[in-house]
Structure formats: C-alpha cells, structure tokens
Amino acid sequence: MSQLIRIFDTTLRDGEQSPGCSMNLKEKLQMAKQLERMKVDIIEAGFAAASPGDLNAIKEIASIITNSTVASLARTDKGDIDKAYESIREAVSPRIHTFIATSPIHMSYKLKMAPEDVIDKAEEMVKHAKKYVSDIEFSAEDATRSEIDFLSKIFTRVIRAGATTINIPDTVGYTTPDEYYEFLMALRNQCPALDKVVISVHCHNDLGLGVANSLAAIRAGATQIECAVNGIGERAGNAALEEIVMAINTRRDRYDYRFNVDTTQIMRSSELLTSITGVKVQPNKAIVGANAFAHESGIHQHGVLNNKSTYEIMTPESIGLSQNKLVLGKHSGRHAFNDKLVTMGYKLSQDELNEAFAKFKEIADKKKEVYDRDLDAIVSRQKMAVKDTFVLERFVINSGNTITSTASVMIRSEAGIIEEVASGDGPIDAAFKAIEKIVGKTLKLEDYSLNSITEGEDALGDATVKLRENGNVYIGRGLSTDVIEASVRAYVNAVNKMIEQEEQNKEAI
C-alpha cells in the first residue's frame, strides 16, 4: 500500500495570526468543524499562551473535535507548555507542539542563547510536555538556515526525550525544491533517530515555492505536511492545503501516496474561510480561484466542449464544485429549501432553519433566482452570528453629485432607540459616521469592499468592513440586494463583534 501523508492544517494558528485574518470564537469553531469534515489529520487550533481568548478558543475546539488530532503551539517554555496542555486536555486526540529557533542568526540575535543551551532547553521542555500527553511535536524554527550537525544533535536529544513528530520547517520560505530534498536526505543520513518518528515540514511561500518544497520533502521521506486553506499565513503565506492535496491526487503517476482528506470539501472550506476573514483569493488561484474551471477563450471553449480533459486536468466535482444548479425562488417551499441545504452539507436545527428560511424568503422577494452561493452566504452569516448589541432599524440617505451626502441612521440597543445624522464624502461614508456617533467611539476604517454574490442585476451585495481599535481588527459582513444597506449592516456587524470580543476579554480576565 502507498505511504500515507498526514495533513497538518494550521489555518487556525499560523493562518489566523496573519494580518487581516483574525477570527472570533464562533468563526474559529465553524472553521474547525469544516476542517474536521474535510478529514484533515491534525488541526493546529492556536497558540494558547498568546492570550486568554486564544486559550479559550483552543479549549472550545478541543471539546467539539472528535475525528482529528487537536494541537496547541507552545514555545520551549514551561508556562507556554502548561497553557498548551490546559487548552487541549479535553481533546480526544491531543498534541502539544513546541518549538525553538535553531539557525545561527536566530540563536544569536533573537534568543541570545548558546547552541548547547538551546539543545538543553529543547530537551527539558519536551520532557515536560511528555508528562502531559504522549503526542509531542518538536519544531526547529528556521531549520533550512540551520547547520545540519546542530539539527542532528538537537533532534537526537528531543526524540530521546519523547518527541514523536519532528518538524523541519522552511520558516522564511528561503529554500528551493532540489536544495530542500538534498538537505533533508543529508539530515536523515546524519540523524538515524529521525527514522523512528514522523518527519514533518512546514513551508512558507516567500519565494512562491511553498507547495513545490513540500512535495520535494515528501520525496525525501516527510510523511506530514503542514499547510493552510487558501495558503494563508504570515507574510506571503503557507503552502496551500488544496494545492498539495490535488497535486498528489492528480499526479499519482509521480506521487504514489495517499491521504485522508476528502477533496470534495475543498471548495466549501475555501469559501468558508473567505467568508470569515473577508480575504478573497485571486481569480487565477490554483484549485479554488474563480477562474480555475472557467473558460472564456474560443479555442479553450471548443476543446472543452469536445472533451473536458483538453483543458481540465481535474474535474470540478473532485473539489466540491457542481456544474448543476438547483434554482430556488420566491415560490419555493420550506421542504425544498431544507432539502437543498442538506445536499449542500448543512444540518440546521428547527430554529436555525426557520431563521434561514425567513431570510431566504426576504431575498427571494427581491431576486428572480436564488443560487447556491446565496444560500451559503445566508447560512454562513447566520451560523457565525454575534450578539446583536446594536440592531439596524432603518436608515435614510440623501446623496447626489451636486450635494453633500447625509445619512440618518436609527439603531436599537438595550438602552433604547438612538438616531443620529451625519454628513460625509458619499452615502457610505455618511452612514458610517452616523453609526460611529451612535456607538460613541472613534473607529478606524481599515478596509471596505463590496462584491456581488451571484450574477445579475438583482444579485446580493456582499459588503465587508474591517474596523481597527486598539490594535485589534474586527471584520463585519452584510448582505442585501441594496448595496448601501449591505454596507451599513456590515459596519454594524463589525461593531457588534468588537463589543462581544471586549466582553469576552473581560470575562477571561
């Protein structure tokens, strides 16, 4: 039987800590469930020592995930490891992932530690982690710029101390495929202890080689690949999970390996992450980009019409796309609506179904056709809903190219109904300023975008707002066939997330 390659997903840790990709608790839980549905082997749920909120999020994820290992990251520090264990102790399959830098430049300038002290510290902390759980992963940060002799020594010691997985990352995306292969083979030859454990790699994409380096590492004996959905992560991101899996799946003539990932969940995972973070993939992104299975050129269209394999090396169905559409409209009933959601993979409670159906009817009255992506948007927003501290009651906009735009916005809260008027540079700016008056805070608008969920003049407008306060970014989403209403709802949603997070932080303290 071919070698099993374990998929270690770090979307919720390395991915979530990248700029613009932060998630609240509900969003992390929904993403974790989808990763489990996709059958990734290990979910790195976060860095417990980063904050009380992160620790609590990992703990919540560990309590609901039953079919994947849940890992928590920790520095080689006793306090970090204690918090990591606290966060995953209830997991069905817990893992502590501890790391220390091993390159001369990191040891000298960041750690300010002598090499022997780094080895001693790593060994000591792996032993400490081993007291808690049997599954211990050790990572040598910046391994590809480290000396092979030194890595051989530290790996031998931590394996003897109880490490069961050794991660040899290309932390800064510096290496190249041939170089990485030779590096790993030389390291395995010098460190026989590596044959007793799982060899893992974690490749960043600074030179656009994350996936290529990961595949080269598999050839060199790595049996665990660390990656992220859509390739999100620090700087230029991580190796993209979907690209690695589909490269192996499509080119089995070159890669005689197997994996547990359900590839038909790839597109849903990608779209869910985009929905949560507001960070969209470029249209020409491999596997999950909007153009990945689109053909506009006449030559391409002619070839595909005759035989799809002329220009498609994999099928849309293999990643969860369908060429068939079941169009729902205002005359559709609750039974057809529920059946459609079930076929899309959603299982809603009766109350959730009632709420989603009401929203569907509201949109169907404004649109001729409601598409799968509309339904995804409706249900995803509902399941990621936050406490409605502020609820939009109504708004009135007065705007034109010869007058100053003004907005009157009415918001309901526990304190009652508040209405404010503001002027601005256009209707959206005016509405945002009116909401800011109601909230009583000066907020920085980090980013604002507006996209259409589907095609047509009656398409749903999908607005994304990113607000920054005290160094934290809050992402709000709003849906409506009226783009101004979608924008106002997105701003209110971002404010509600900010308030909910502030309340959670107070409770954690």
- Whether 296 maps to a domain, the answer reads no
How many angstroms separate the most distant Cα atoms in the chain?
A: 77
- Whether 322 maps to a domain, the answer reads no
User: CA separation (Å) from 308 to 27, 55, 277?
Assistant: 37, 48, 33
Are 371 and 325 in contact by the 8 Å Cβ rule? The answer is: yes
- List the beta bridge partners of residue 465: 448, 476
Half-sphere exposure of 94 (CA within 13 A, CB side): 24
Q: Are residues 398 and 426 in the same domain?
A: yes
Q: Are residues 397 and 418 in the same domain?
A: yes
List all residues 6 or more positions away from 339 whose beta carbon is below 8 Å from its beta carbon: none
Domain count, the chain: 3
- Whether 329 maps to a domain, the answer reads no
Q: Are residues 166 and 262 in the same domain?
A: yes
Q: Are residues 490 and 367 in the same domain?
A: no
Q: Are residues 267 and 346 in the same domain?
A: no
Per the prediction, the chain carries an average pLDDT of 89
For position 435, what pLDDT does the model report? 95
Q: Are residues 259 and 171 in the same domain?
A: yes
The whole-model pTM stands at 0.76
What are 245-282's pLDDT values in tens digits?
Answer: 999 999 999 999 999 999 999 999 999 999 899 888 98
Q: Are residues 190 and 253 in the same domain?
A: yes
In 293-424, where does DSSP find H-type helix?
A: 298-306, 334-343, 350-364, 372-383
What are 176-221's pLDDT values in tens digits?
Answer: 999 999 999 999 999 999 999 999 999 999 999 999 999 999 999 9
Rounded to 5 degrees, φ, ψ at 154 are: -70, -35
Q: Are residues 378 and 398 in the same domain?
A: no
Q: Are residues 86 and 193 in the same domain?
A: yes
Q: Are residues 199 and 347 in the same domain?
A: no
H/E stretch holding 1 reads none
Report the chain's terminal Cα–Cα distance, integer Å: 51
What are 299-308's pLDDT values in tens digits?
Answer: 444 454 456 6
- Whether 441 maps to a domain, the answer reads yes
- Whether 110 maps to a domain, the answer reads yes
User: CA separation (Å) from 161 to 134, 167, 347?
Assistant: 11, 15, 45
* Number of neighbours of residue 356 by Cβ within 10 angstroms: 21
Domain boundary among 231, 250, 277: 277
Structural domain for 455, as ranges: 391-508
Lowest pLDDT segment from 48-57, 70-79, 498-507: 498-507
Residue type at position 485: E
Are 472 and 501 in contact by the 8 Å Cβ rule? The answer is: yes
- Whether 307 maps to a domain, the answer reads no
Q: Are residues 118 and 14 in the same domain?
A: yes
What CATH number is associated with residue 209? 3.20.20.70
Domain boundary among 255, 277, 299: 277
Per-residue b or e along 427-448, where b marks 16 or more CB atoms closer than 10 Å to that residue's CB: bbbbbbbbbbebbeeebebbeb
The pLDDT-based confidence of 355 (bands split at 50, 70, 90) is confident
Q: Which residue has the tokens 């509309």?
A: 374
Q: Are residues 373 and 428 in the same domain?
A: no
Are 65 and 91 in contact by the 8 Å Cβ rule? The answer is: yes
